[in-house]
């Protein structure tokens, strides 16, 4: 299985590089620059492509070119910017700069669309192509967050998923949105789950849980897929 | 009541200019260029601002400047581009040009966010500020349409609405998404409703119905608002 | 137009009797017992049928029989029980009695289904049949309320609406769910709207607003309908 | 871990008995009668309780009594009746008998609520209590099916889940709705997945996939849970 993770340099994306795939699979990380030291995993081929989705058209072309000739089984679009003051008590929409707003929309929406468009031919040559979009609970009604642009772009991913399924159902394209709550991005997979689960007094979601779930999604038969996974922290009062 | 309609030169936007407001109210139309002949309505002041939301930052600034000093009670963002082959039998996502995709995302998402941001101070000086976003049934799960970018940007409007309500609830900001199905944009309000309802063998929604509904939304007490109106054609098999 | 309102003796149902229809229309109220003094409205014929939906099968048959021979244009199922301690600070699911739970499920779900089934032949003989189900914001994800049975039964109405539209789309059956927030049921339509809007420090929805909206729904062309109206109080922090 | 599966005698419920839990865990099956031969699994204790949820109040009391004194970690309510002609081409709502409608509502809604209520004390004594409700894609907007009562009762499960999470968030109660599409209930877990995936020309979902997913849900850290899993067949044109 050949799996591409876009936005792979840190946090959840890095955890996908650490935890997805089995012996014989290959992983392709995409981030703005190639990490100085690539993760190594026994039996798994790990490649990297540098591309800056802030310029989505050339970035998409670059990634597709680097893929040329091969099939792609799974594309995980895990890239998503948020406002510089997002999730802070002093966040205020009226203080967001127009430049930041436009950059977020470009990377989170146009970037996703153009990269998927560029990679669809490679995906559709897979017997069971899957796209996974890292959304957020901010893509759900009643999410209770005031970040306008982040919310807009995460809702947009759901729209991308809907239309892709409609356009490529006959080719068996599966598209899954992961609507994730507050993640614990401090502890990588090397930290035991029990310990990671202690951080933030248990109020954040260990990356282990997300990786475990995505591993399961990738192991489903080609007959089915999960459209949407809504996964908040257990004590999150918004859900 | 002072009502601004963005995307007012034709179709539904033009019908809003023809049909919203009562004697003593003022309407402000926004479109790329000022129409050569403005609609005239007895007792209603109608102004026009030319602004091209394809350049959202200067356009938003221009509109806000033209508004300076006054309050705004209602902002209707009715502007929305779609793919050049959208809703045609030969539409294919892989044939959408990257330039078109980016232009749609800019106008439909960044344009909406930046214009709302620029106008919020004027809106919040109203006793009962209301924003109405013209969405689409393509903003709903299961919409059954393959247009990826249109779907993404219409879902994005829902995200904008969610976050705005959260950020400005204490100021009483009402935000409504109109999720409209296939509209009959051939017949303007001057055509009697009964006749407009005959077109397309009854399979499209007369603009009269939408205008009537929005008039009702604007007449609600400040205690309430309608979050979302889902309004498909009666025979639309998707809903 | 012939309009039946089930659950018409008080609150919103009574306001529908007071405010829907125009000269030449007829209204049929349904409640457990016929009010001692019926509302009178000039030019509008008002009838009443006594039926107790706690026994839904005979009640449905009784109402249908009283309707026999005529068409019905609009059926409003406005009947809905809630838990005796619902919306109180001391509400606790574990304290709900099994008898109460079963009674609520019977009236709110079985009652709605069986009455609709019994009246569908009369509705389908209308040129533009409409069913309106009085739901609640408790039918929406993230509603933030702990009343299990009320929530279950209000979600159930959405399921009824979905399936009815699918089964009777070709006959043009419109089904609308009204998802209403906290209502001001103290002030009837005779109280001026401005005054009703003052009650509860503006935190509840005047019945006038709901009646106005439903009047608009009933005036739409037969080409369209509104699937769902989500109408919370403006300051309701859950939405 | 102690796991109860209600509706365990056949289909998906039986597959849960065959496939959930690991050595040291205990499973409790609930169905109308105790199977003549219980499934045996090495290292896993399997008990059975006979209870007929068509009489939900005594059935819930009976199950709770049989549980008395112990904790319960997971409750899976997998019981759900459908109309006798459901999913057949000749299904017609007007032909459903009132008795059948009421029986479905009783088992699917009242049964679920009363059993959960009776078992909550045992569940809340678990460190990480989980409830899983077997819903259906018929619980989702746009499901495209005309079965009114089935749709109503499956939507109702979502309402149960919402309210339970709100009422018992502080105790860490996780509630998950499984919205499953067309299942292949012909092939049990003993049939290899690859073979099960061939049935119905690949148009139905092997039980293996559902069991695998639920195993993952039960292995998540107590910090999180999945609110809703929407899992249709890959080619299902409704989603």
pLDDT at residue B68 is higher than 80: no
Size of interface B-D (CB pairs under 8 A): 14
**Of D141, D176, D180, D171, the residue nearest D157 (C-alpha):** D176
Q: Do D145 and C163 touch (CB under 8 A)?
A: yes
Chain B residues with CB under 8 Å of C231 CB are 224-227
**D231 interfacial to chain A (CB closer than 8 Å):** yes
Q: How confident is the model at residue B107 (pLDDT cuts 50, 70, 90)?
A: very high
**Residue C192, min C-alpha distance to chain D (Å):** 36
**Residue A18, min C-alpha distance to chain B (Å):** 30
Contacts of B221 (CB under 8 A, 6+ apart): C193, C194, C196, C197, C205, C206, C208, C209
**B110 interfacial to chain A (CB closer than 8 Å):** yes
Chain D residues with CB under 8 Å of C92 CB are 167
Size of interface C-D (CB pairs under 8 A): 162
Q: Do B140 and D140 touch (CB under 8 A)?
A: no
**D170 interfacial to chain A (CB closer than 8 Å):** yes
**D139 interfacial to chain C (CB closer than 8 Å):** yes
Chain A residues with CB under 8 Å of B100 CB are none
Percent of chain C with pLDDT over 70: 100
**A89 interfacial to chain B (CB closer than 8 Å):** no
Query: B229 - beta bridge partners?
Result: B178, C229
How much of chain A is in helix, strand and coil states, percent to nearest 5?
A: 40, 20, 40
- Whole-angstrom distance, CA of residue B83 vs CA of residue A7: 28
Half-sphere exposure of B179 (CA within 13 A, CB side): 26
Q: Do B140 and D141 touch (CB under 8 A)?
A: yes
* Euclidean distance between the first and the last CA atom of chain C, given in angstroms as a whole number: 35
The H-assigned helical ranges of B44-147 are 56-66, 98-105, 111-124
pLDDT at residue C69 is higher than 80: no
B38 and B18 in contact (C-beta within 8 Å)? no
ipTM: 0.97
**Residue B144, min C-alpha distance to chain D (Å):** 8
* Sole residue written with tokens 């089995």: A22
Which chains does D contact via 3+ CB–CB distances below 8 A? Answer: A, B, C
Chain C residues with CB under 8 Å of D110 CB are 101-102, 105
Q: What is the pLDDT of residue C17?
A: 98
pLDDT at residue B69 is higher than 80: no
For B178-199, b/e burial (b = at least 16 CB within 10 A) is bbbbbbbbebbbebebeebbee
- Whole-angstrom distance, CA of residue C156 vs CA of residue D160: 10
Q: For residue A147, give the DSSP letter.
A: -
Q: For residue D199, give the DSSP letter.
A: G
- Whole-angstrom distance, CA of residue A16 vs CA of residue A39: 11
**Residue D168, min C-alpha distance to chain C (Å):** 8
**A171 interfacial to chain D (CB closer than 8 Å):** no
Q: What is the pLDDT of residue B150?
A: 98
Q: Mean per-residue pLDDT for A124-143?
A: 96
Which chains does A contact via 3+ CB–CB distances below 8 A? Answer: B, C, D
Q: Do D152 and C113 touch (CB under 8 A)?
A: yes
Q: Do B98 and A56 touch (CB under 8 A)?
A: yes
Q: Mean per-residue pLDDT for A40-48?
A: 96
Of C101, C143, C164, the CB nearest to D162: C143
Closest residue, chain C, to A230 (C-alpha): C141
**C108 interfacial to chain D (CB closer than 8 Å):** no
Q: What is the pLDDT of residue C67?
A: 86
Of A203, A228, A239, the CB nearest to D230: A228
Q: Do D220 and A239 touch (CB under 8 A)?
A: no
**Of D139, C6, C16, C232, the residue nearest A227 (C-alpha):** D139
Of A60, A152, A160, the CB nearest to B159: A152
Backbone torsions φ then ψ of A41, nearest 5 degrees: -135, 135
Domain ranges (residues) in chain D: 2-231
* Euclidean distance between the first and the last CA atom of chain D, given in angstroms as a whole number: 35
In terms of phi and psi (left: phi > 0; alpha: psi -120 to 50; beta: otherwise), the region of D211 is alpha
Average pLDDT, chain A: 96
* Euclidean distance between the first and the last CA atom of chain A, given in angstroms as a whole number: 35
For helices C207-219 and B207-219, give the axis angle rounded to 10 degrees: 170
Chain C (194-213) residues lying within 8 Å, Cβ to Cβ, of chain B: 194, 196-197, 202-206, 208-209, 212-213
Chain C residues with CB under 8 Å of D93 CB are 117, 120, 163-164, 167
Q: Is the full-model pTM beyond 0.80?
A: yes
**Residue C151, min C-alpha distance to chain D (Å):** 5
pLDDT at residue C140 is higher than 80: yes
- Whole-angstrom distance, CA of residue D57 vs CA of residue D60: 5
Chain B residues with CB under 8 Å of A152 CB are 109, 112-113, 156-157, 159-160, 163
Q: Can you identify the CATH homologous superfamily of domain C2-231?
A: NAD(P)-binding Rossmann-like Domain (3.40.50.720)
Q: How confident is the model at residue B112 (pLDDT cuts 50, 70, 90)?
A: very high
Q: How confident is the model at residue C68 (pLDDT cuts 50, 70, 90)?
A: confident
Residues of chain D with pLDDT under 50: none
Q: Mean per-residue pLDDT for B54-68?
A: 95
Chain D residues with CB under 8 Å of B238 CB are 142
B106 and B56 in contact (C-beta within 8 Å)? yes
Chain A residues with CB under 8 Å of C239 CB are 142
Chain A residues with CB under 8 Å of D239 CB are 165, 227
Q: What is the pLDDT of residue B63?
A: 97
Q: Do A231 and D235 touch (CB under 8 A)?
A: no
- Whole-angstrom distance, CA of residue A51 vs CA of residue A9: 12
Chain B residues with CB under 8 Å of D238 CB are 142
Which chains does B contact via 3+ CB–CB distances below 8 A? Answer: A, C, D
Q: Do C105 and D106 touch (CB under 8 A)?
A: yes
**Residue A17, min C-alpha distance to chain D (Å):** 20
Closest residue, chain C, to B172 (C-alpha): C234
- The residue length of chain C stands at 239
Chain D residues with CB under 8 Å of A227 CB are 230-232, 239
The sign of the CA dihedral A2, A218, A132, A180 is: negative
**A146 interfacial to chain C (CB closer than 8 Å):** no
Q: Mean per-residue pLDDT for A105-121?
A: 98
**Residue D234, min C-alpha distance to chain B (Å):** 14
Size of interface A-B (CB pairs under 8 A): 165
Long-range contacts of B17-24 (CB under 8 A, 24+ apart): B17/B46, B18/B188, B18/B189, B18/B190, B18/B211, B19/B189, B19/B207, B19/B208, B19/B211, B19/B215, B20/B211, B20/B214, B20/B215, B20/B218
Q: What is the pLDDT of residue D67?
A: 86
Q: Mean per-residue pLDDT for C94-104?
A: 98
**Residue A237, min C-alpha distance to chain C (Å):** 8
**Of A199, A89, C132, C151, the residue nearest D155 (C-alpha):** C151
* Sole residue written with tokens 């309609």: B5
């Amino acid at each position: 299985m050949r799996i591409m993770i876009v936005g792979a340099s840190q946090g959840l994306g890095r955890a996908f590089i650490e935890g997805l795939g089995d012996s014989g699979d290959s992983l392709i990380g995409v981030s703005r620059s190639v990490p100085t030291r690539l993760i190594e995993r026994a039996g798994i081929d790990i490649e990297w492509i540098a591309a800056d989705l802030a310029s989505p058209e050339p970035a998409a072309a670059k990634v597709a070119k680097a893929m040329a000739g091969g099939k792609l089984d799974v594309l995980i679009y895990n890239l998503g910017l948020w406002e510089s003051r997002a999730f802070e008590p002093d966040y205020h929409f009226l203080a967001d700069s127009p430049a930041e707003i436009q950059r977020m929309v470009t990377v989170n929406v146009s970037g996703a669309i153009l990269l998927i468009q560029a990679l669809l031919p490679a995906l559709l040559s897979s017997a069971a192509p899957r796209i996974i979009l890292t959304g957020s609970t901010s893509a759900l009604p009643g999410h209770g967050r005031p970040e306008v642009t982040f919310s807009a772009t995460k809702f947009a991913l759901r729209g991308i998923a809907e239309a892709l399924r409609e356009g490529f159902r006959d080719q068996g394209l599966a598209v899954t949105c992961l609507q994730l709550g507050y993640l614990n991005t401090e502890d990588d997979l090397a930290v035991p789950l029990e310990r990671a689960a202690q951080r933030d007094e248990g109020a954040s979601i260990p990356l282990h849980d997300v990786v475990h779930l995505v591993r399961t999604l990738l192991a489903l038969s080609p007959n089915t897929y999960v459209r949407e996974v809504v996964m908040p922290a257990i004590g999150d009062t918004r859900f």
